[in-house]
Structure 1
């Protein structure tokens, strides 16, 4: 008998109960190259099922890790193949000029590894992490290493918490979610500050 999933996880019960490991792999995979899918929530739900002996926690973690790394690499290829052209053609309509994009590239070249790892834990950044890395031209081997590290930490954290906490996981998730918002705001401010500093420095040099 499958355990009842608490709160916002309940809608995943039919999907997870019917497809099991396949659902975990597919949803995590597509979320990681920009498709709006509940990758993190299905990982948590699968961890709860594993805690009730409906799934194997090691299998859940391995499948989620492989799917996360593969999905981000698809995103990287998308960004590498067409991201830059799209930015230069359409970016001005969202105030992303070539100059601002260059500043973002410089920021990513200096701090890209840390960003790739940390972005895995931040809603919004997790879904576009690979695309941004590919668009800014981050070397694939460097991206792969830091992305795999981030995926391992992310899968390990949520699968273990869900496995151990069970029905109490939604309270923990809500608390951590608040910190995710603060982290996203801090990241946006940091990127904006770096971009402004870069533009000011360029003007002074001229």
Structure 2
């Protein structure tokens, strides 16, 4: 709740300039994409609240939120693609892409392939390392990365923005549904990961049998 109120206070300076709300939301989401530990979902909810309070248009806020998410993610992917392994020497990157986390991300790619880019949108702690590593491998075309990440963002972004919009004047109701939404996303994610794992092991078993 403290993070939400802090962001709402920041964004609410929009009464001085209507464009401030959009610029503030976009900037915060861009920072989220760089691995800074600011909750992306709460940032989107705060943007929706600002729209609900009349400082911005909710539909425009949705597109601004979507743009902020995708631009931030894309910058990490492109950085990995351009600099390769050298990007791990950058001080900011070295803080969140440790050896252990890099190995874990590599393992996720090995198990689930490019589908992990869709799942990554719902994994706050691993999202940025996964996108960065995807670029570093140079085996994922940018258009495919954008397609997978964009598809996931089209699920998460409107949920949080419109939830904030409709709950702008009902904070207790809003926070209860934020928790429900977070749990719901985790449940959907668990189902997707389980289904992917089943498909992976079935294919592995089938390939093993055919090789004999």
Same fold, TM exceeding 0.5? Answer: yes
Residues 27 and 38 in structure 1, CA contact (< 8 A), matched pair in contact too: no
CA shift digits 1:125-145 (9 cap, x unpaired): 333342132133322111111
Alignment root-mean-square deviation, CA: 4.0
Q: Does 1:156 align with 2:158?
A: yes
Q: How far apart are 1:85 and its partner, in Å?
A: 5.4
CA shift digits 1:45-103 (9 cap, x unpaired): 1111212222110111111111111111101012223454577xx99953866xx94x5
Q: Does 1:54 align with 2:55?
A: yes
Do the aligned partners of residues 122 and 176 (structure 1) sit closer, same or farther apart at CA in structure 2, a change above 3 Å counting?
A: farther
Secondary structure at the counterpart of residue 71 of structure 2: helix
CA distance in 1, matches of 2:76, 2:112: 16
CA shift digits 1:111-165 (9 cap, x unpaired): x2x3322322332233334213213332211111112222222211111222123
CA distance in 2, matches of 1:12, 1:33: 18
Residues 80 and 87 in structure 2, CA contact (< 8 A), matched pair in contact too: no
- 1:76-115 equivalent positions in 2, closer than 5 A: 76-84=77-85, 94=100, 101=106, 104-109=108-113, 112=114, 114-115=115-116
The runs of 5 or more residues in structure 1 that have no matched partner are 1-5
Do the aligned partners of residues 84 and 54 (structure 1) sit closer, same or farther apart at CA in structure 2, a change above 3 Å counting?
A: same
Q: How far apart are 1:40 and its partner, in Å?
A: 2.2
Partner of 2:4: 9
CA distance in 2, matches of 1:152, 1:179: 16
Q: What TM-score does the superposition give when structure 1 sets the normalisation length?
A: 0.70
The runs of 5 or more residues in structure 2 that have no matched partner are 14-19, 89-93
CA distance in 2, matches of 1:148, 1:173: 22
Residues 108 and 116 in structure 2, CA contact (< 8 A), matched pair in contact too: no
